[in-house]
Amino acid sequence: MDAHYDIVMKARDTAGQGIKRYFAYSTILDREAFLEWREQHSYQFFDLPKGELAEAADLSLVYDFPSRWWGGRVAGLTEAKGARVCGVVFEIAEKDWPIIQHKEGAVTGMCVEKPVQVKLASGATVEAIAFTTNPQRKSLDGPVSQRFVEALERGARSAGLSEAWVESLKG
């Protein structure tokens, strides 16, 4: 096991009993990639629950984190009046939240949590937590990772997001 696993498991042991809403818009929606990541990190006991399609208003994607693993810049969120980011809201048990934090890069300081208002497919507007690039780690140096964009597209399609959203990811 790696040190991140130990951090996550310790956090799970002290977590509350509540639920957190997680707005997922990135590669976690790519089911195949998520299962591979889960296996690599020994989280086979965890699975994402069924989620609900949602849109976050006044936000857009910005490729502002250079990732060695992805071979280029990957996406975070930026304020953008009138724009929207499509994704899925999952209700995650607090004890499993550290796994989400690990997947999203919060454990390593790559990303930070960001409260967002999202409109669910059912019509309700709720607050959820998204992850975005840590302001201290932002950079626009280097190319956008094509492999990352392809994973975004696969994830958006497998989650059932609109084809218009999938096309918008191509840049």
Tokens 């990190």 found at: 41
User: pLDDT tens for residues 116-135?
Assistant: 999 999 999 999 999 999 99
pLDDT of residue 171: 59
Structure tokens at 140: 């626009």
Residues 47-96 pLDDT 10s: 999 999 999 999 999 999 999 989 999 999 999 999 999 999 999 999 99
pLDDT band at 39 (very low <50, low <70, confident <90, very high): very high
**Beta partners for 73?**
66, 144
How far is residue 60 from each of residues 37, 64, 66, 76, 79, measured CA to CA in Å?
A: 26, 12, 18, 8, 7
- Closest by CA to 87, choosing from 126, 131, 55, is 55
How much is the mean pLDDT over the chain? Answer: 94
* Domains of the chain from N-terminus onward: 3-164 (3.10.490.10)
| Burial (CB count <10 Å: 0-12, 13-18, 19+), residue 170 | exposed
pTM reported for the whole predicted model: 0.93
* Residue carrying structure tokens 């060695």: 68
From CA 160, how far away is CA 166, in angstroms rounded? 10
Q: What is the largest CA-CA distance in the chain?
A: 44
The pLDDT > 90 percentage for the chain reads 84
Task: Tell me what percent of the residues of the chain surpass a pLDDT of 70.
Answer: 99
The 10s digit of each residue's pLDDT in 92-105 is 999 999 999 999 99
Q: How far apart are CA 60 and CA 79, in angstroms?
A: 7
Condensed to tens digits (0 to 9), the pLDDT of residues 140-152 reads 999 999 999 999 9
